[in-house]
Structure 1
Amino acid sequence: MHNIRMWIKRDAENLIRDLSKQFPAVFVTGARQAGKTSILNHLFPDYSYVTLDDPAQAAEAVNAPQDFIDSLTCPVIIDEAQYAPDIFRHIKLAVDKAKQKGQFFITGSQSFPLMHNLSESLAGRCGIVNLQPLSAHELDREKRITSIEDYISTGGFPALYADKDINRQHWYPSYVSTYLERDVRNIMHVGSLRDFNRFLRSVAIRTAQTLSFADLSRDVGVAPNTIKAWISVLVASHMIHLLEPYHRSLGKRLVKSPKLYFLDTGLAANLMGLYSWQDILNSPMAGALWETYAFNQIHRHLLSQGINNPPLYYWRTKDGREVDFIIEKGGQFIAIEAKLTGAPTLDSAKGFFYFKDYYGEDAVLKEYVLCRVKKDHAIGKGVKAINGVYLDF
């Protein structure tokens, strides 16, 4: 990804540039290997660079944080800040003294405790970018994917597209192993990696399902409170997202548990032992992985606009009426249903009619069925079939 000829333009590039002109510091968070370091090095190739992945640098940043910050030449990229979360207080002092925009660019693959320290020390002084793996849109624009189905089974991690010789069946286990050792054990201090690995696989097969701590506890064989703590670890390390239900009024008639989505379909599929689209189609997980793809494209699209907590929900009544995704926009909604079909009909959109029964005909701005169509097209009554590669909301 550092090779300019291999560079895949990221949707977040303009956002990072804009934030660097507004704030003294910019914090780029996201999953391990999502491309955080690469995007900063690409945008700011002349800035000084230090990584706390280097044990000597990390030790200095932890043991003598003020000396560490004083030794830096600004503007500077500080990579892997999760290894020295206390440096934010010292960055604040440097920022307040210099009074210049775009001086510190910080990356971290763990939201917690980084975000806590960030909000305490750099409130109002730091722009935040949540960088996910490559979207289908980013890859299709560069002609790097042959089909959405291939993208779903491959996933969006940049390394898989930077080197054609990489075998994802080998790359993903290595990725998971590094994640367990570096993030789960060292930063989150989880005791049993064997149990956590089993838990990770159990979570993968529940992508696009309502979260149940009791079910996971039974499957993995650990206490529900441990499962809750471990789910927090997955959220903090950008492995999963918990999508909250929308329940404006109508309280008791609506489901209130979040739905769980893996933040990369390739990683989820690999954890399930599915290595190609044909494997996925032959499994019972095809619908869930298509819905996970749909969620990720919508979520990444909103994040790239600088919306760090997108008003994105699902909607479901206790009698089973539902809409997969609801985006709130100015008091109205964009409604999206994910369907595996390549030939959608208005029957695919029946959830929208239930939703409008509850909230009124005028509540919904746009209605989409996100499905396996080659080209976006209308299917009637204001409903449009889209494939999720190019989103315009």
Structure 2
Amino acid sequence: SLMGRYEEIRMSHWSYPEMKEAFGMTIEQYIYFGGYPGAAMLIGDEERWKNYVSGAIIDATINKDILMDSPIGKPALLRQTFELSVAYSGKILSLTKMLGILQDAGNTVTLAGYLNLLSDSGLVTGLQKFSIDVARKRASIPKYQVYNNALLSSQLGLTFQEAVSDSKQWGQFFESAIGAYILSEAFTHRFEVFYWRKGNDEVDFILKKNQKFIAIEVKSNGEAYTTGLERFRNLFHPSAIFIVGEKGISPEVFLNMDLRKLFEQLNDK
């Protein structure tokens, strides 16, 4: 029998270079509107664009792909879990606190199961905290991350100009866009993604493949360094450290990088 003999070729959301080449998107437009090619021609009419993302992507994925293929006891709760997780993209929120926000939420096991379904569907995921101890990873508070920034923009209720003009909100869009690209590269090239936090010190993303791991901090406000990176370096001795932002790798350069080569360069040393 040749059943099941195949090569898996992974494809993910469209990247910034692809959206720029096909639709002429600027880096700011890509950070806000994301990488859905079907919606790209509608960005001149933001209300129509949001309706398309909501109807043709979000509703279709949740109401058809997930609900038709998986037994869901509380469909309304699944939708609420999606909306809250997307709103917190780039932020940390415990499932226990999420229970207190959502209506008819059941228990944390239900929420964790719904979050796994949303992740498998390419919508939003909960990153685990980096730890050498596997048990601590699995018990950690999740950091939420969308797979495509269009999901964040369509849910927050800010126009493109409002988002760009608000430095605090733009910081969330910026980090979320970098995180979405990291997830896309991780899915395609098969490496793991975590975050790290201890007290007030935090590192946005930890990339791990085999026994090598890389720390990445995202800064939209021009800061050159953080105490979180320094503390993480002292505790875990990562193979490499990068800052994405004005004082580090520019977002245009980072969103063009093949991230698997970061690990390949480490192997060459």
TM-score by length of 1: 0.56
2:106 paired residue number: 223
After superposition, residues 1-393 of structure 1 pair within 5 angstroms as: 93=1, 95-96=2-3, 122=4, 125-140=5-20, 142=21, 144-161=23-40, 167-175=48-56, 176-221=58-103, 222-224=105-107, 225-248=109-132, 256-279=140-163, 281-282=165-166, 285-304=169-188, 306-307=189-190, 310-317=191-198, 319-328=199-208, 331-341=211-221, 343-345=222-224, 348-360=225-237, 363-365=238-240, 367-371=241-245, 373=246, 379=247, 384-387=248-251, 388-392=254-258, 393=262
Once the two structures are superposed, residues 133-178 of structure 1 have per-residue CA deviations (whole angstroms, 9 ceiling, x without a partner) of 11113223x1634422211221211212367777312201212222
Once the two structures are superposed, residues 19-53 of structure 1 have per-residue CA deviations (whole angstroms, 9 ceiling, x without a partner) of xxxxxxxxxxxxxxxxxxxxxxxxxxxxxxxxxxx
Q: What SS is found at the alignment partner of 1:210?
A: coil
C-alpha distance in 1, partners of 2:43/2:33? 12
Shift, 1:325, TM fit: 1.4
Structure 2: tracts of 5 or more residues without a match? 263-269
Letter in 2 for 1:314: Y
Letter in 1 for 2:250: I
Answer whether contact 1:368 1:386 (CA < 8 A) is retained: no
Shift, 1:321, TM fit: 1.8
Answer whether contact 1:274 1:280 (CA < 8 A) is retained: no
C-alpha distance in 2, partners of 1:174/1:299? 24
Letter in 2 for 1:144: F
Shift, 1:280, TM fit: 5.9
Answer whether contact 1:205 1:285 (CA < 8 A) is retained: no
Answer whether contact 2:145 2:179 (CA < 8 A) is retained: yes
Whose helix proportion is higher, 1 or 2?
2
Q: Structure 1 residues 127, 324: closer, same or farther in 2, change over 3 A?
A: same
Structure of greater Rg: 1
Q: Structure 1 residues 291, 194: closer, same or farther in 2, change over 3 A?
A: same
Letter in 2 for 1:150: Q
Give the alignment's Cα RMSD to 1 decimal: 3.0
TM-score by length of 2: 0.79
1:45 paired residue number: none
Using CA pairs under 8 Å that are at least 6 residues apart, name the structure with larger relative contact order, 1 or 2. 2
Structure 1: tracts of 5 or more residues without a match? 1-92, 97-121, 374-378
Shift, 1:240, TM fit: 1.4
C-alpha distance in 1, partners of 2:186/2:112? 27
C-alpha distance in 1, partners of 2:167/2:182? 25
- Percent identical across equivalent pairs? 18
